[in-house]
Amino acid sequence: MQRKQSKQRRKATQVSPVTPANVLPLGAMMLAGLSFTAYADEPAAVAQDEQVMSTVKVQADGEILQDGYQATTTRVGKVLQNPHEVPQAVTTVTRALMDEQKASSLREALRNVSGLTFNAAEGGRSGDNMMLRGFYTFGDMYLDGMRDTAQYNRELFNLEQVDVLRGSAAMLFGRGQAGGVINQVSKTPLLTDRHKITGSLGTDDYRQLTGDFNKRLGDTAALRLNLMTRDEASWRSNPANGDEPELHRDGVAASFAYGLGRSDEFILSHILTQTDDIPDYGVSFDPATREPGKNFPASTYWGTDRNFDESETSITTGTYTHYFSPRSAWRTQVRSADYQRSYWARTPNLTQAPNAEGIVLRDDGSANGGPTRTMDYETLALQTDFNNAFEALGMKHEFLVGAEYFNENSYRHGLQNLGGTSVANPPFYRPYRPSATGTPVAFDSDSYAVYAQDTVEFIPKWKATVGARRDEMDAEYSSATSPRLEYGEWSTRAALSYQPVDETHYYLAYSDSFSPTADLYQLTVTPLPPERSQVMELGAKWLLLDGDLALRAALYRADKEWERNTDLESTAAVLTKQRRTDGLELELAGRVTDKWEIFAGLALMDSKIREVAENVNPTTGAITVANAGYQGQRARNTPPYTANLWTTYKFAGGWKVGGGAEAKGERYGYNPSGAGAIPTLPGGTAFHPNTAPSYVRWDALLAYEQRSYALALNVQNLFDTVYYDALYDNGGFAVPGQGRRLILSGEYKF
């Protein structure tokens, strides 16, 4: 029965893709006519008694066929399709996988993505901050295909799945990096009544309560409401006062849909999340060993409960889709978003023990309160896409054309010190109280884009994909040295696919991307070329065991030129002039038997700096070249390997056991743009930067599942391993990962 349902899910996803749209382009209108001719015998709308969503199929009897670990649909290629059909490496973290692991945040879900590492917050780049294939991703975060580049911590309670499209994706998404795109897929209303409440209690004061309520309102209308509240403490604490890092997060997401299963579909959604955290900046590196310092136990925390990381994120989205046929649609999305955030953190120290006031003394004896920030980032986005499958000149085409507008208005500044600068009168800050001195970093930007792509089956079993995109950006900045930026850039994408049978897909793909000097809002006195990235990928995808198990392999080369620093207004904006990652990825997802499921990945990465940085002095205009000793060295936060495994087995009576591991090789932290000496061990001459050691973390699961309820015990970090999972890429500090944590959960479905 399970295998039959798997086949039904895959067949359901082979209806043609859909994507955003607002004003139907002329070419799209012409091809819409072709679609009616090509599919005159097909209904103009999806059948009323069945609805295809991102990862679920709702049948007439209300039964929901939920994906397990193997995703059967994705929109990360701009149209709704099976990931098996995408001629590029795609990893999908499904809802089932996230629920079993008791993942709560996007960061926790992404532990299942091979080749991905975490950066620790600094330089204003707080919030979710990852590296993929050794390249930054904070400019490549998306929510339902729309740019979501704000600096905040993302939650999972309203997500159906997370799709990771690897390689340059600028033709599909606009300006970006070489590593790939991380796209969050929201839950949407379904034509059935279905409700679920989940509560969890754990060690280190872990508490979470979530609710997922879906109500059918008529033949084509439904309402969905998702709620979340979570609290977490830590295994680390300040020995001077007992204060710990903490997480306190709340969220509500509501969505209403009308026209489900009809040719015209409308969805309106709103999500509001709030955080009230006490941040953790980890442990300092020891220059004598180039490893995390051991002068104090790894459990030592330098902050206090006066520190804070508060935020409020509000996102409203409207989506309209018109289905010309099951293989042709026009989709438009409009979004207004506001991201407010304010934080005061405490950086660690190698030699000074934590104190009750949470301060560290400078060389002159004054008190350093730690980094502060307040920011407000507002966006307005509009996307419109048309896709159509048709036949012309004896060849099958899958055509996509679209346009996009994106406005950003950003303000960022330090906080006002309401205290003093001495031990007797230490610094003190409050949220959203900007400093009265200094100049805020602000910008107002308008971006426009048009793009088109066609996939042609030019002979049976062979397909060629060709696409191009033009992006234009006009931005004004608070910077006195470079107050304005205008640019226009092209991006391209091409692939050759061979599918001898439906279950096998071989491809050779090329993609490029760009990121202008101010894409992540750092500017230079003298304009420099934009970042450019090129990725070549040779891959294969197989559906095994009657399609229940998906296996993929990818061999790639990713090059980046004029790699930028992430710090705003950096005087050393360029990190490297050219660097490269060569890699091999393997991934397995799905069912081995009806009772045994597995999700596993392996990434091998060889990352090298090929040409060192050139930077322009902001005062003299002179060019400064980085130390030549960085050439040929491994890039920052790019381990030689990462691996992940999660597997479960169902026994009779509803019992399930499972577990898995996450492994990463050692990661470097250093600044490659400086002209000074390269980092070495004391008395040495060989390159030896600060290094986060390799680690393996094991997790375990025991669950009892029935139709209407379930109980589960999760043990995270089973062996209580001390490991460092986040690294400040300049090398100052690393943040220890989760200690052993037990979570007992109960779930009730009605």
**Pair 418, 429: CB distance under 8 Å:** yes
Does residue 492 register a pLDDT over 70? Answer: yes
Q: What is the DSSP code string of 75-112?
A: -TTSS-B-GGG-SS-EEEEEHHHHHHHT--BHHHHGGG
**Pair 691, 674: CB distance under 8 Å:** no
Query: pLDDT per residue over 366-375, tens digit each?
Result: 898 899 999 9
Q: Max Cα separation, the chain?
A: 83
3 state SS of 604: strand
Neighbours of 719 (CB within 10 A): 10
Report, as an integer, the average pLDDT of 396-422.
94
Picking from 92, 72, 94, the residue whose alpha carbon sits closest to that of residue 587 is 92
The pair of three-digit structure tokens given for residue 200, joined into one six-digit string: 């969890």
Confidence of residue 567 (pLDDT cuts 50, 70, 90): low
Does residue 179 register a pLDDT over 80? Answer: yes
The predicted structure's pLDDT at residue 529: 79
The predicted structure's pLDDT at residue 123: 47
The predicted structure's pLDDT at residue 57: 41
Query: pLDDT per residue over 618-676, tens digit each?
Result: 667 788 899 999 999 999 999 999 999 999 999 999 999 999 999 999 999 999 998 99
Query: pLDDT per residue over 131-160, tens digit each?
Result: 999 998 877 899 999 999 888 999 999 999
Give the CA radius of gyration of the chain. Answer: 25
Separation of alpha carbons 355 and 87, rounded Å: 55
Q: What is the DSSP code string of 409-451?
A: EEEEEPBP--S-SSSSS-----TT-B-SSS--EEEEEEEEEEE
The predicted structure's pLDDT at residue 531: 85
The predicted structure's pLDDT at residue 125: 54
What average pLDDT is seen over the chain?
88
Separation of alpha carbons 249 and 108, rounded Å: 15
| Phi, psi of 112, deg, nearest 5 | -85, 5
Q: Which amino acid is at 180?
A: G
**Pair 168, 136: CB distance under 8 Å:** no
The predicted structure's pLDDT at residue 51: 40
The pair of three-digit structure tokens given for residue 742, joined into one six-digit string: 């037990």
φ/ψ region of 259 (left if φ > 0, alpha if ψ in -120 to 50, else beta) reads left
Report, as an integer, the average pLDDT of 400-413.
95
Confidence of residue 524 (pLDDT cuts 50, 70, 90): low
The predicted structure's pLDDT at residue 522: 52
Separation of alpha carbons 459 and 376, rounded Å: 53
Neighbouring residues of 543: CB distance < 8 A, sequence distance ≥ 6: 84, 502, 503, 504, 549, 550
Confidence of residue 735 (pLDDT cuts 50, 70, 90): very high
Structural domains of the chain in order of their starting residue, each with its CATH number: 2-749 (2.40.170.20)
Report, as an integer, the average pLDDT of 63-84.
83
Separation of alpha carbons 305 and 357, rounded Å: 10
Query: pLDDT per residue over 290-348, tens digit each?
Result: 999 999 999 999 999 999 999 999 999 999 999 999 899 999 999 999 999 999 999 99
Report, as an integer, the average pLDDT of 431-453.
93
Query: pLDDT per residue over 196-247, tens digit each?
Result: 999 999 999 999 999 999 999 999 999 999 999 999 999 999 999 999 999 9
Query: pLDDT per residue over 262-298, tens digit each?
Result: 999 999 999 999 999 999 999 999 999 999 999 999 9
Q: 453 or 483, which is more confident?
A: 453
Separation of alpha carbons 588 and 492, rounded Å: 29
**Pair 310, 342: CB distance under 8 Å:** yes
**Pair 723, 188: CB distance under 8 Å:** no
| Phi, psi of 5, deg, nearest 5 | -65, -35
Separation of alpha carbons 121 and 124, rounded Å: 7
Strand order in the sheet with 130-132: 135-136, 130-132, 116-119, 724-727, 733-736, 283-286, 291-292
**Pair 614, 623: CB distance under 8 Å:** yes
Strand 264-277 relative to strand 283-286: parallel, antiparallel, unpaired? Answer: unpaired
3 state SS of 6: helix
Strand residue runs (E) in 345-394: 360-361, 367-368, 372-392
**Pair 432, 425: CB distance under 8 Å:** no
Beta pairing partners, 93: 162
158 burial class (0-12, 13-18, 19+ CB within 10 angstroms)? buried
Neighbours of 712 (CB within 10 A): 21
Separation of alpha carbons 724 and 737, rounded Å: 5
The pair of three-digit structure tokens given for residue 699, joined into one six-digit string: 């997790």
Q: What is the DSSP code string of 657-684?
A: EEEEEEEE--EEE--TT-SSPPP--TT-
Termini Cα distance of the chain: 24
The pair of three-digit structure tokens given for residue 692, joined into one six-digit string: 């986060």
Separation of alpha carbons 627 and 575, rounded Å: 11
Strand 116-119 relative to strand 724-727: parallel, antiparallel, unpaired? Answer: parallel
Q: Which amino acid is at 24?
A: L
Query: pLDDT per residue over 11-65, tens digit each?
Result: 444 443 333 333 333 333 333 433 333 333 333 333 333 344 333 444 433 444 5
Separation of alpha carbons 694 and 711, rounded Å: 34
pLDDT-above-70 percentage for the chain: 88
Confidence of residue 8 (pLDDT cuts 50, 70, 90): very low
| Phi, psi of 449, deg, nearest 5 | -150, 150
